[in-house]
Structures are given as C-alpha cells and as structure tokens.
C-alpha cells in the first residue's frame, strides 16, 4: 500500500466527511508546487483556495514564524501584542482603515462585521435597523450567521432556522438593491468580485453606485475581501480598482501567508461601536500569526508581488481566452489579476480530477466554472506548464 493510500484509509475512518476530498495527501510545498506523501509533485493553481498568495512556505514568512515561535506563542488580548499592532498599522496605512479587530478566519471576520454593523446602526439610527443585504451567489462563511448571510441555498440545507435579518439581491444590479431597501436596512455586504459564486465581476460603476446608495440611506457598506483582498486582483484590495471605499472590510485567507488569521478593518467612526467587552477572540491576532502577517504583507508590498500578479494575470487571461476560442464548450473567461474563472457549458468536476492526476491543482465552483487562483508569485513557465496540462484535457473532450 502506498503512503498516500494508507493515510487516505485512516482519514476515511476518523475524519469527518465535511469535504469531498481528492486522493492527494499533501506533505510539502514550495513556491507554486505541492508534493504528496509518495513524492509526486503538483503545480498548485489553487494555492489553498487563494491562501498561499506568496507560494508555499515563503522563506520570509517561515523565518518570521520561526523567530516568533522562540519568543512568544500566545498571550491574552488582555495585553498588548507588538506584531498585532504592527500588522494593524500596515493594514491601515494601505487602506481606508483606521482600526483593526483580529480573529482567526473569514467567517469570524464577517461575524464581527455583522455584529458591528448592527450595533452601529442601532445606536445611530434606532432599534429597527438590523437587516443586512447581501448578494445572490455570495459566500461569507460557514457559521450560522455567515450561512444566513450567504446567498446560496446549498450551504443552508439542513441547518434551519437561519439567523433572521438577511436579504439577498442579484449581484451587480443597483436597481434591485435600491428596491430592497426598507426602514430595517442596516448594511450592505458584498464581495467586490464573487469567488465561490463563480468568479463574478460586477459591471463597472456598480461598486460606486452601491457606495452612493449606502451614503444616501445611512447604511454601513461592508466589503468581504476574504478571497480577493491581499493582492489577489493586482491591487492590495480589490475595491481599490474602482477607488470606492467601504466602511468595513473583512480579510482572512492570504493575510498571514498561510497561517490562520482573520481581520475586520474599519473606519474610526464605526470601530468606536465595539468598546471593551463587546466582542473578542482568544486566539485573535496572536503573536505567531500576526508575526507571519507582518512578514507576508511586507513581501506583498515590497517584493514586486503585486506587479507580478498584474503581468501574470494578463498573461494567464490571454492564454485562457485563446483556449476558449478553440473549445466550443468554453463560454467565458472572467476575473481580475490572478483570480480567473473559465465558465463551461459542461460540468467541470471531471476536468479537475483529471488535472490532479496529471499534476495540476485547480478547482471548479458552482459546477461549471474552472477557477484559477495560483500564487501571485507564479512564473510564465509555470503558467505554460499548467496550461499545457489543461489544454491536453480539454482537447480530449468532445467539442
Ligand atoms: C473563504 C471565504 C470566506 C470564509 O472564510 P473561512 O476562513 O473559511 O471562514 C468568507 N468570505 C469569502 C469571500 C471567502 O472566499
């Protein structure tokens, strides 16, 4: 029995089956590559679902973790934590933000945003303001509040009753949002580009129109940048392409270059709502992950990673467009920077499986959108290699 098969058999007995896992046992990663327990290498164009933006085990992130691990692993948020303060400073220096709350995941960051928005609106506008409007096909996490916020039925099945106070509108449709407003409306929460929902990019001007609508109606504007933040689209934060600022922004995935982290970034006015005792997290912003976060953000900002994301994003997009023109079942290529999706008129699941067998990791969202989220450090040669594998697979499918 191979080492991988042995692990898979053990997983089969003891790990809860909450994921449809592929038969890959990951043991080592470097840059754009991942190796399994039998030594087989893969080109990783999933990057831990947009977590490993700097590639696997970036040496500066690893060094920061090693250094911090010898100093202090954990201490309570009753005390001040230098690396947490530094990371907050970096985030605020490079965004609209003035204060940061740290937690451990994207769902937690969105929970914090929802709590803040409700308390803020209630205090500012009155008791009846609690409803958060989100988008159809959005994804905001897997806790009860965040599945309630998510505009997809499949994440809610079996878990009712949902948390009340959420409403969904078609993404990119400003009139639908306007029509959804009621005296209960408190906040609008959107991904600037929908990731899990199929790499959906809103029409130009939409985010600006949403901002204006929020301003006119005293609504808190929340951007969920858990997936598209931290350089993924070629700017540090995706909303910066349109130059429209939210009131709250949530981050997680790539923020610490791999280790688990979440953050809620807010303007002062809103941040002031969450005073002592109103919210918290034992591990949130702990020394280890925030030391990694500081290192990861510095690499992102100082080592040309954003520039590489823009150039390689254009290159990958061009190659995908070219491929689309050759395959009748390929409908559309969309996205920004290095979050790209190729929508097919067929199911994408088998393509993902075959790609894995041939050494390429990608995934498929909403059944038919192949998603490419490689490390932002990806090279042209790695893109060529990945696309050769993909082209080979698509060529075997009936056109
Ligand atoms: C992944 C994701 C989340 C959830 O993050 P977790 O860390 O898995 O809780 C929330 N929002 C968006 C847009 C995401 O892509």
Which residue, among 209, 221, 115, 207, has the nearest Cα to 165 in the 3D structure?
115
Using the 8-state DSSP alphabet, how is residue 76 labeled? -
C-alpha triplet 135, 140, 146: angle, nearest 5°: 105
Query: What does residue 296 show for φ and ψ, rounded to 5 degrees?
Result: -65, -45
154: exposed, middle or buried (Cβ count in 10 Å: 0-12, 13-18, 19+): exposed
Ligand 1 site residues, Cβ closer than 6 angstroms: 105-107, 110, 139-141, 191, 195-196, 224, 226-227, 252-253
Q: Which pLDDT does position 127 carry in this prediction?
A: 87
The pLDDT value recorded for residue 399 is 66
Find out whether 45 is annotated in a ligand binding site. Answer: no
- Ligand 1 centroid to Cα of residue 195, in Å, is 9
Q: Tokens at residue 306, please?
A: 């954003």
- As averages over each run of 10 residues, the pLDDT of the chain (399 residues) reads 95 97 97 98 98 98 98 98 98 98 98 98 94 98 98 97 98 98 98 98 97 98 98 98 96 98 98 97 98 98 97 98 97 98 97 98 97 98 98 91
227 is in an annotated binding site: yes
pLDDT for residue 398: 76
- Quick check: 257 and 292 in contact, CB under 8 A? yes
Would you say 160 is a known binding-site residue? no
Measured CA to CA, the distance from residue 184 to residue 14 in angstroms comes to: 45
pLDDT of residue 63: 98
Which residue's alpha carbon is at the smallest distance from atom 11 of ligand 1? 140
Residues 42/26, Cβ–Cβ less than 8 Å: no
Q: From ligand 1's centre to the CA of 150, what distance in Å?
A: 11
Backbone CA torsion sign across 311, 317, 320, 326: negative
End-to-end CA distance of the chain: 39
Atom of ligand 1 nearest to the CA of 224: 13
pTM above 0.75, yes or no: yes
Pocket-testing residue among 140, 149, 226, ligand 1, by greatest number of atoms within 8 A of Cβ: 226
Q: Which domains does the chain have, with CATH numbers?
A: 3-57+304-398 (3.90.1150.10), 72-302 (3.40.640.10)
Task: For tokens 């690396």, name the residue.
Answer: 83
The residues annotated as belonging to the active site are 139, 224, 253
Choose which residue among 110, 197, 252 to substitute to test ligand 1 binding: the one with the highest number of ligand atoms within 8 A of its C-beta.
252
How far is ligand 1, taken at its centre, from the CA of residue 84, in Å?
21
The rounded Å distance from CA 207 to ligand 1 centre is: 20
- Between the CA of 394 and the centroid of ligand 1 the distance, in Å, is 30
Of all atoms in ligand 1, which is nearest to the CA of residue 225? 13
What is the pLDDT, as a whole number, of residue 1? 82
pLDDT at 303: 94
> Is position 378 annotated in a ligand binding site?
no
Distances (CA, A) of 316 to 39, 45, 102, 374: 28, 11, 34, 10
- Testing ligand 1's pocket by substitution, the residue of 48, 109, 111, 141 carrying the most ligand atoms inside 8 A of its CB is 141
Residue whose CA lies nearest to ligand 1 atom number 5: 106
- Assigned token pair, 399: 């056109």
Ligand 1 atom closest to Cα of residue 104: 7
Strand, coil or helix: 388: helix
What is the distance in A from the centroid of ligand 1 to the CA of 7?
27
Cα dihedral 361→362→367→368 (10° resolution): -130
**Closest ligand 1 atom, CA of 260?**
7
């Amino acid at each position: 029995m191979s080492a991988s098969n042995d692990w898979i058999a053990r997983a089969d007995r003891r790990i809860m089956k909450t994921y449809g896992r592929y038969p890959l046992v990951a043991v080592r990663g470097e840059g754009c590559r991942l190796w399994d327990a039998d030594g087989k290498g893969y080109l990783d164009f999933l990057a831990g679902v947009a977590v490993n933006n700097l590639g696997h085990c970036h040496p500066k992130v690893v060094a920061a973790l090693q250094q911090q691990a010898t100093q202090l692993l954990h201490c309570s948020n009753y005390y001040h934590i230098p690396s947490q303060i530094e990371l907050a400073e970096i985030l605020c220096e490079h965004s609209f933000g003035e204060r940061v709350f740290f937690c451990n995941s994207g769902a937690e960051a969105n929970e914090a945003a929802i709590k803040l928005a409700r308390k803020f609106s209630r205090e500012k506008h009155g008791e009846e303001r609690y409803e958060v409007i989100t988008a159809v096909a959005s994804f905001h996490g897997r806790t009860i509040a965040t599945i309630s916020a998510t505009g997809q039925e499949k994440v809610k099945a079996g878990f009712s009753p949902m948390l009340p106070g959420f409403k969904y509108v078609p993404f990119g449709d400003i009139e639908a949002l306007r029509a959804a407003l009621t005296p209960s409306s408190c906040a609008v929460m959107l991904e600037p580009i929908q990731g899990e929902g199929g790499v959906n990019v809103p029409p130009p001007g939409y985010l600006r129109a949403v901002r204006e609508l929020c301003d006119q109606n005293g609504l808190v504007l929340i951007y969920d940048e858990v997936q598209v933040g931290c350089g993924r689209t070629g700017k540090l934060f995706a909303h910066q392409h349109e130059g429209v600022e939210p009131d709250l922004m949530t981050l997680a995935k790539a923020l610490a270059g791999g280790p688990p982290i979440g953050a809620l970034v807010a303007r002062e006015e809103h941040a002031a709502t969450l005073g002592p005792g109103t919210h918290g997290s034992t591990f949130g912003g702990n020394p280890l992950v925030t030391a990694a976060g500081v290192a990861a953000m510095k690499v992102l900002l100082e080592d040309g990673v954003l520039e590489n994301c823009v150039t390689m994003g254009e290159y990958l997009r061009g190659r995908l467009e070219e491929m689309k023109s050759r395959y009748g079942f390929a409908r559309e290529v969309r996205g920004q920077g290095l979050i790209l999706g190729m929508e097919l008129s067929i199911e994408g699941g088998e393509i993902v499986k075959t790609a894995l067998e041939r050494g390429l990791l990608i995934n498929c969202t909403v059944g038919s959108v192949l998603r490419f989220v490689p490390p932002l450090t990806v090279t042209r040669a790695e893109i060529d290699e990945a696309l050769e594998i993909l082209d080979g697979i698509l060529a075997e499918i009936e056109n």
